[in-house]
Amino acid sequence: MTLAFHPRRRLLAAAASLLLAGGAVAQQGVPTAAGDWPRRQPIRLVAVFPPGGSVDQVARILAQPLSQQLGQSVVVENRGGASGSIGTAQVASAAPDGYTFAVVFDTHAVNPSLIPNLPFDTRRDLVPLVLVGTSAMVLATHAGSEYKTFADVVAAAKAKKNVTYGSIGSGSLGHLAMALLGRNGGLEWTHVPYKGGGPLMQDAVAGHVPLSIGSVFVTKPHIDSKRLRPLAVTTSKRVAELPEVPTVAESGYPGFDAPAWWALLAPAKTPPEIVQRMNEELNKALKNPDVAARLAGQGISVIGGTPETARTFIDRQVGTWSQVVRDNGIKAD
């Protein structure tokens, strides 16, 4: 016996099937139409380092203006560990629906060559939203040190006097910058890795490590208190916070440029219209005078610009530092 369906019932059944299918697709993490974004739920900014550091600060500085501009809650979640790769992996595997983004640091460009079996592909699994900004690192020495200038450090290294410096860890940008400088300049020095900026600065101001290399954010308070003497900065131009401190480039190594940097990323399949809208909103936030001032307080020079600008910059950083890691046989802590 064959049962016949009324045409109206067929239409209702088909509509119900489409609704069920749409729900299943949404549950599997495939975004629905981007037209209702960002009304459905709060936006997460995953800061890929623990609370208190510069990545956390950047995320929190941006969260408030983004929330006001988008009319939606923007919450910061800290997912630290493995030089930022744990939090970044979480975002790379998140639903590409415009509700989860990563706030990353310069280690993002180092991790692909430093961490074996990284659980994501930096270029394939993530799309840059914006390059927030860059900052110099500062090579400094304690107040009672024999090193009065960067030239003194170079002379000691060339004389093979066992020049020792500390960084925030093996594979950190400070470590890689010094390795690059040493290799290109024929300089020899000994690296002492620390577990972050706090321990490094504690030993640096006490004179337990002759030289330190760290961001303006972690170093400047100790320069201001006269416990550390700055010798050089690693960016191609001098920094406004330390205008009297020469660059490595102008100190005999032209072209040397090793900036710290911060960026926001999204899962790779995030709809292009959401990527574009978030880029516009982030640039708007970065142009906010209060936001710019607060970032400057962290030693960050705002960059902004298009997603393509961010991608080009990050790709170049990945290429530069992967070569340094290979050339120097650098391993993670």
Is residue 246 domain-resident? no
Q: Which pLDDT belongs to residue 5?
A: 38
Domain assignment of residue 8, yes or no = no
Same structural domain for residues 57 and 118?
Answer: yes
One-letter amino acid for residue 52 of the chain: G
Residue 73 maps to which CATH number? Answer: 3.40.190.150
Q: In the chain, how many domains are there?
A: 2
Q: Exposed (0-12), middle (13-18) or buried (19+): which is 67, by Cβ within 10 Å?
A: middle
Report the C-alpha gap between 242 and 74 in whole angstroms: 34
Q: Is the dihedral of CA 7, 9, 13, 15 positive or negative?
A: positive
Pair (141, 186) in one structural domain = yes
Q: Is residue 303 part of a domain?
A: yes
- With respect to residue 245, please indicate whether it lies within any of the assigned structural domains: no
228 with 141, same domain: the answer is yes
Q: Are residues 217 and 267 in the same domain?
A: no
DSSP label at residue 247: B
Give the residue ranges of DSSP H helices in 2-84: 7-27, 54-70
Query: Looking at the domain assignment, is residue 111 inside a domain?
Result: yes
pLDDT in single tens digits along all 333 residues of the chain: 433 434 444 444 444 443 444 444 444 444 454 689 999 999 999 999 888 788 999 999 999 999 999 999 999 999 988 889 999 999 999 999 999 999 999 999 999 999 989 999 999 999 999 999 999 999 999 999 999 999 999 999 999 999 999 998 888 899 999 999 999 899 999 999 988 888 999 999 999 999 999 989 889 999 999 999 999 999 999 998 899 999 999 999 999 999 999 999 999 999 999 999 999 999 999 999 999 999 998 889 999 999 999 999 999 999 999 999 999 888 877
Is residue 120 domain-shared with residue 171, that is, in the same domain?
no
CB 255 within 8 A of CB 249: yes
In a 3-state reduction of DSSP, which class is residue 277?
Answer: helix
Total-model pTM? 0.82
Residue 313 within a domain:
yes
Q: How far apart are CA 108 and CA 101, in angstroms?
A: 14
Do 50 and 68 sit in the same domain of this protein? yes
Note whether 199 and 270 are same-domain residues: no
Residue (of 98, 95, 77, 87) closest to 120 by Cα position: 87
Q: Where are the alpha helices (DSSP H) in 207-271?
A: 216-224
For the stretch 285-326, pLDDT in tens is 999 999 999 999 888 999 999 999 999 999 999 999 999 999
pLDDT tens for 219-248 read: 999 999 999 999 999 999 999 889 999 999
Q: CATH no. for residue 189?
A: 3.40.190.10
Residue 292 belongs to what domain range? 43-134+259-328
